[in-house]
A and B are shown apart, each in its own frame.
Chain A
Amino acid sequence: MADTNSYSSDLKTTPLNELHEQLGAKMVPFAGYSMPVQYPKGVKTEHLHTRSSAGLFDVSHMGQVIVEGPNAASELEQLIPLDLEALAVGSQSYGLFTNDQGGIIDDLIIARWQQNTFFIVINAACKYKDIEHLRAHISESTITELTDRALLALQGPKAANVMQSICPQALQLKFMEFGEFTVQGESMFISRSGYTGEDGFEISVPAQLARSFAEHILSFDEVEPIGLGARDSLRLESGLCLYGQDMNDQTNVIEASLAWSIHKNRRANGSKAGNFLGADAIFAAQESGVSKKRVGLSVESKTPVRSGTLLVDANSQEIGEVTSGGFSPSLEKPIAMGYVSSDFAKVGTEIFALVRNKLIPVTIAKTPFVTQNYYRG
Chain B
Amino acid sequence: MSEFRKELKYLPSHEWARVEEDGTVTIGITDHAQESLGDVVYVETPEVGADVNAGEEAGVVESVKAASDIFSPVSGVVIAVNEALGDAPETVNESPYDDGWFFKVKPTDLSELDDALDVDGYKAALEEDE
Interface size class for chain A? 20 to 34
A42 near B33 with CB under 8 A, answer no
Asked whether B121 is an interface residue with its Cβ less than 8 Å from the other chain, the reply is: no
B64 near A43 with CB under 8 A, answer yes
B70 near A304 with CB under 8 A, answer no
Chain A residues 284 to 306 lying within 8 A of chain B, measured CB to CB, are 302-304, 306
A1 near B67 with CB under 8 A, answer no
Asked whether A327 is an interface residue with its Cβ less than 8 Å from the other chain, the reply is: yes
Give 10 new A-B contacts, CB below 8 A, not counting A1-B69, A4-B66, A229-B38.
A1-B33, A1-B68, A1-B71, A5-B36, A44-B38, A45-B39, A302-B42, A304-B67, A326-B64, A356-B44
A327 near B64 with CB under 8 A, answer yes
Asked whether A320 is an interface residue with its Cβ less than 8 Å from the other chain, the reply is: no
Chain A residues 1 to 53 lying within 8 A of chain B, measured CB to CB, are 1-5, 37-38, 42-45, 47
Asked whether B60 is an interface residue with its Cβ less than 8 Å from the other chain, the reply is: yes
Q: Mark B1-30, 1 if CB is under 8 A from A, else 0.
A: 000000000000111000000000000010
B13 near A304 with CB under 8 A, answer no
Q: Given A43-B38, A304-B42, check contact A1 B29 (CB 8 Å).
A: yes
B39 near A1 with CB under 8 A, answer no
Residue of B nearest to A326 (CB): B64
Q: Which B residues are CB-close (under 8 A) to A4? A: 66
Asked whether A155 is an interface residue with its Cβ less than 8 Å from the other chain, the reply is: no
Q: Which A residues are CB-close (under 8 A) to B68? A: 1-2
Q: Given A229-B64, A306-B67, A326-B64, check contact A3 B39 (CB 8 Å).
A: no
B42 near A303 with CB under 8 A, answer yes
Per the bound structure, the CA–CA distance linking A1 and B62 in Å amounts to 10
Q: Which B residues are CB-close (under 8 A) to A233? A: 64
Per the bound structure, the CA–CA distance linking A356 and B45 in Å amounts to 13
Q: Given A44-B39, A302-B86, check contact A1 B15 (CB 8 Å).
A: yes
Asked whether B129 is an interface residue with its Cβ less than 8 Å from the other chain, the reply is: yes
Interface size class for chain B? 20 to 34
Chain A residues 91 to 113 lying within 8 A of chain B, measured CB to CB, are none
Quote the shortest CB–CB distance from B4 to chain A (angstroms): 16
Q: Which B residues are CB-close (under 8 A) to A306? A: 66-67
Quote the shortest CB–CB distance from B127 to chain A (angstroms): 13
A/B interface sample: 14 pairs, CB < 8 A:
A1-B37, A3-B14, A5-B36, A37-B65, A43-B38, A43-B65, A229-B64, A229-B65, A304-B42, A304-B62, A326-B64, A327-B42, A356-B44, A356-B60
B36 near A3 with CB under 8 A, answer yes
Q: Which B residues are CB-close (under 8 A) to A5? A: 36
Quote the shortest CB–CB distance from B63 to chain A (angstroms): 8
Asked whether A278 is an interface residue with its Cβ less than 8 Å from the other chain, the reply is: no
Q: Mark B77-94, 1 if CB is under 8 A from A, else 0.
A: 000000000100000000
Per the bound structure, the CA–CA distance linking A374 and B29 in Å amounts to 42
From B41, B64, B70, B86, residue with most partner A Cβ within 10 Å: B64
- Of the candidates B13, B64, B65, the one whose C-beta lies within 8 Å of that of A329 is B64
Asked whether B61 is an interface residue with its Cβ less than 8 Å from the other chain, the reply is: yes
Per the bound structure, the CA–CA distance linking A5 and B109 in Å amounts to 34
- Of the candidates A42, A302, A304, the one whose C-beta lies within 8 Å of that of B38 is A42
Q: Given A1-B71, A304-B62, check contact A43 B14 (CB 8 Å).
A: no
Q: Mark B22-60, 1 if CB is under 8 A from A, else 0.
A: 000000010001001111011010000000000000001
Q: Which A residues are CB-close (under 8 A) to B37? A: 1
B38 near A38 with CB under 8 A, answer yes
A2 near B44 with CB under 8 A, answer no
Residue of B nearest to A306 (CB): B67
- Of the candidates B39, B66, B129, the one whose C-beta lies within 8 Å of that of A42 is B39
Per the bound structure, the CA–CA distance linking A5 and B33 in Å amounts to 12
Per the bound structure, the CA–CA distance linking A133 and B79 in Å amounts to 61
- Of the candidates B14, B44, B64, B86, the one whose C-beta lies within 8 Å of that of A1 is B14
